[in-house]
Amino acid sequence: MNGPQDVGGRHGFGAVVPEDEATRFHADWEKRVLGVTLAAGALGHWNLDASRHARESLPPAVYYGSSYYEIWLRALEGLLTRAGEVTPDELSAGHAQVPGLRPERCLKAEAVPMVLASGGPTDREGPAPLFGVGDKVRMANHQPAGHTRLPGYTRGRVGVVTARHGAHVYPDSNARFEGENPQPLYTIAFDAVELFGADAEEDLTVSIEAWEPYLEPA
């Protein structure tokens, strides 16, 4: 969707300043937010794409005024409330007032290492790809109201297929609980001038991963 998260290629947000990879968290509460988010996901009310969509659906003022894990927390509150696992009164009180809906799916501490190690593979059997390496493609110029993984700055732009990755869960339908609908996944490379105009660095290339429904023959 055209949400506050889609800021790639836009001015006004300052430089991207990489942090030391050794710095995982800035405060203990961030660790707890991550842990609670993983545990709540085990309840099975939503999938990975739906949780991403919950974060990008936050109002811009909330999104831009929040740190990374604050965004996770605000989205989780919405997901749990919509699932009926918590109520607004419980959020205000800071503790549960009635039992949860799926206690049998509670993620026990001893199960966490196994759950994290198993990961969440998204590769699936799917249709044969329509495009080959070297093909020129134009990105669809769609303005979706729902979830999409297509960056706004690439829409309508022409790039070249540089790799194919088989079929994977299609996030646009998965986030709406309309099925995994596996689609071929590609790497697409763009000249920076194509994306950002004459002021871009001429020798710079930008690559993204894009699902086949985002692509049109160029």
**Tokens representing 112?**
């966490």
- The alpha-carbon radius of gyration of the chain (Å, integer) is 20
- Architecture of domain 123-217 in this structure: Roll (2.30)
- Reduce the DSSP state of residue 178 to 3 states and report it: coil
Residue 144 has pLDDT above 90, yes or no: no
Please determine, for residue 195, whether its predicted confidence score (pLDDT) is greater than 90: yes
SS3 sequence, 29-93?
HHHHHHHHHHHHHCCCCCCHHHHHHHHHCCCHHHHHCCCHHHHHHHHHHHHHHHHCCCCHHHHHH
5 close to 13: Cβ distance less than 8 angstroms: no
CA–CA separation, 31 and 69 (whole Å): 9
Domain boundaries, the chain: 28-118, 123-217
**6-27 tens-digit pLDDT:** 988 888 888 888 989 899 999 9
CATH tag for 28-118 (out of 3.20.20.70, 1.10.472.20, 3.40.50.300, 1.10.10.10):
1.10.472.20
Q: What is the pTM of this model?
A: 0.91
Dihedrals φ, ψ of 166, to 5°? 75, -165
Q: Do 159 and 13 form a contact (C-beta atoms < 8 A)?
A: no
Please state the rounded mean pLDDT for residues 90-102: 93
Share of the chain above pLDDT 90, in %: 82
Q: Rounded to whole angstroms, how far apart are CA atoms 27 and 95?
A: 21
pLDDT in the model for residue 86? 96
pLDDT, tens digit, 9 for 90 and up, residues 23-77: 999 999 999 999 999 999 999 999 999 999 999 999 999 999 999 999 999 999 9
CA dist 25 → 33, 35, 63 (Å): 11, 12, 19
